[in-house]
Amino acid sequence: MLRFLARRIGYLALMLGGLVLVTFVISNVTPADPAALAAGPDATPAMVATMRQEYGLDRPLPEQFARYVGDLLQGRLGRSIQTGNAVTEDLLRYVPASLQLVLLAMGFACAVGIPLGVLSAVRRHSLFDHAVRVLAVSGVALPAFWIALLLQLVLAVWAGWLPTGGQLSIAADPPPVLTGMVLLDSLLAGQWGTAGDAAAHAVLPAFVLSLPCLASVLRVNRAEMIEVLGSDHVTAARAHGVAPRRVVGLLALKNAMLPTLAIIGLRFGWMLGSTVLVETVFDWPGLGLYAVNAAIAADFKPVMGVTLTIGLLFMLANLLVDLAYGWLDPRTRGA
């Protein structure tokens, strides 16, 4: 297991290095001149030249890359033109907000997707099964930003049941920052009113974010359950008179969980990517909104920072899934 872990971490480092190279290439193909951008619109050519020298943009590319890597290793991601802060500083504030949203969405997707998958596998070809499948395909096909707008319109603007956007009401008393996740922080601080407010704000964005994940979890779980329920050991257990509830719950579901786990890991990354859309609609102060605002303003450093951060989070999630896999199913350790 230790060797397996070491190999996985080595691989992660390699991938991260590759990603750093990719972001470096992307930042260097830009037709806009970063020095001119940083110097501002009124800069004279001489000022731009000074800026270029200061940023080391006049050096050969390999040297620039070495500098870039060196900066990254020290946690320096540059400065955002828009917010005026160091990108690292901004990221530390926005990562927990997005992570809270993604984790809530993931929890919801599992809590709903797994039971629905099991039930539709048990009642295969029933009306319920067909209804669930329609739901599953729609979950992937619905444009997240569009369904977000519609839900916002109906549930928040018209019905007034939920807030339209943001992370907390202006009137709410923000909790002391521990994890940076507002909901968790207010629970930890025992501020129940704030926690309720934070939860109400998170409902719509988390729900919209969870739809594709829910659909995938449901589909994979259903397919796996059908396969496991048809296998020999389940038939044998049934023949021995094991109660149907135990057969489904213990024998089958346990075996069907492995592929479900894999799809959850994969979807985690997708959800991090979808924050770009969902946070834009709900004005949620997270990574996605930060990246979009920066991208529109041609503020490259934050965009690259977000790309690297989301890539790193995704790789870590995949590492966790791999480890869980290796732990649950020793046969996969060699792969």
Partner 1 sequence: MSDAALPALSRRARFRAEHAGTLRGARFFVWTFSRSPSALLGLALVLAFLLLAAIGPWIVPYPEDARGAVNLGRRLLPPSAAHWFGTDEMGNDILTRVVVGTRTSFWIGLTITGLAALVGVPLGVAAGYFGGRIRTAIMRVTDVFLAVPGLVLALAIVASLGPGILHGVLALTLVWWPGYVRLIEAKALTLRGESYVEAARTMGASHGWILARHILPNCVSPIVVKASMDMGMAILAAASLGFIGLGAKSPAPEWGAMISVGRGYMPDWWWYPAAPGLFIFLTVLGFNLFGDGLRDTLDPRSNRG
| Interface residues toward partner 1, by CB under 8 A | 14-15, 18-19, 21-23, 26-27, 29-32, 133-134, 137-138, 140-147, 149-150, 152-153, 157-158, 216, 219-220, 223, 259, 263, 269-270, 272-274, 276-277, 280-281, 291-292, 294-296, 298, 300, 303-304, 306-307, 310-311, 314-315, 318
Closer residue to partner 1, CB minimum distance, 234 or 303: 303
Query: Is the Cβ–Cβ distance between 250 and 237 less than 8 Å?
Result: no
Closer residue to partner 1, CB minimum distance, 10 or 193: 10
Q: How many helices and strands (H and E) does the chain possess?
A: 14, 0
Closer residue to partner 1, CB minimum distance, 13 or 177: 13
Calpha distance 223→227 (Å, rounded): 6
Of 168, 171, 220, nearest to 196 by C-alpha is: 168
Query: Which two three-digit tokens encode residue 102?
Result: 């993604």
Query: Which two three-digit tokens encode residue 12?
Result: 């992660």
Residue 79 forms beta bridges with which residues?
86
Closer residue to partner 1, CB minimum distance, 168 or 277: 277
**Taking the chain, what is the end-to-end CA distance rounded to the nearest angstrom?**
12
Q: Indicate the angle between helix axes 87-122 and 192-229, nearest 10 degrees.
A: 50
Q: Closest approach of Cβ 250 to partner 1, in Å?
A: 24
Q: Would you call 79 helix, strand, or coil by DSSP?
A: strand
Q: Closest approach of Cβ 143 to partner 1, in Å?
A: 5
Q: Closest approach of Cβ 9 to partner 1, in Å?
A: 14
Q: Closest approach of Cβ 322 to partner 1, in Å?
A: 13
Q: Closest approach of Cβ 231 to partner 1, in Å?
A: 16
Closer residue to partner 1, CB minimum distance, 141 or 328: 141
Q: Closest approach of Cβ 4 to partner 1, in Å?
A: 18
Query: Which two three-digit tokens encode residue 322?
Result: 């791999």
Q: Closest approach of Cβ 47 to partner 1, in Å?
A: 23
Closer residue to partner 1, CB minimum distance, 31 or 241: 31
Query: Which two three-digit tokens encode residue 137?
Result: 């395909």
From the number of C-beta atoms within 10 Å of its C-beta (0-12, 13-18, 19+), residue 210 rates as buried
Closer residue to partner 1, CB minimum distance, 52 or 301: 301
